[in-house]
Chains A and B, each alone.
Chain A
Amino acid sequence: QVQLVQSGSELKKPGASVKVSCKASGYTFTSYAMNWVRQAPGQGLEWMGWINTNTGNPTYAQGFTGRFVFSLDTSVSTAYLQISSLKAEDTAVYYCDRSTSSGAFDIWGQGTMVTVSS
């Protein structure tokens, strides 16, 4: 079946980096854009941006430039989110999700909890 499976929870110290993976299966990876969404503890959903799975070109939302990098490995149908110079306020669940032509996010990964604490 169509699914996105993300890597497991991470505990990092401030200043470190983390790389979250999102493996797609059940569909042609390059036929749909991949988005990333952040949800801080007890908070709502925040769109981080998206990556064109055909060209690898990323687009970052305001507030997610500089320390955030989207990348792909199309040979294994996997998208990645790397966050550098981690801060306590980066503590959140990070979701990858597939967007359709209508702009809706029809398939979501299970989420990856990233905790930043000294």
Chain B
Amino acid sequence: KNQVEQSPQSLIILEGKNCTLQCNYTVSPFSNLRWYKQDTGRGPVSLTIMTFSENTKSNGRYTATLDADTKQSSLHITASQLSDSASYICVVISSGGYNKLIFGAGTRLAVHP
């Protein structure tokens, strides 16, 4: 069964600190993996897209990693800001004909001053 599991479910950190969010998946065949940021009450916004051959990709203070062998991805946030408070959603796209999107439940991050 294709699944995407994210951990932790929620996280509280202090402003300026770093944090790492995890995403484990059992999706096959794998096409690519995406991290989205969703502010409360708004639509998700894409942070990164990673294909099978990519190990690391950065977008400002966000760095995503992908280990296709262990089927794990992480999203590292550096020097957190209050505006980083949001839900972070891992999405894995399965290939083979028309794609299928499998969403993780998300990690809710709260950055406190």
Partners in one complex: no
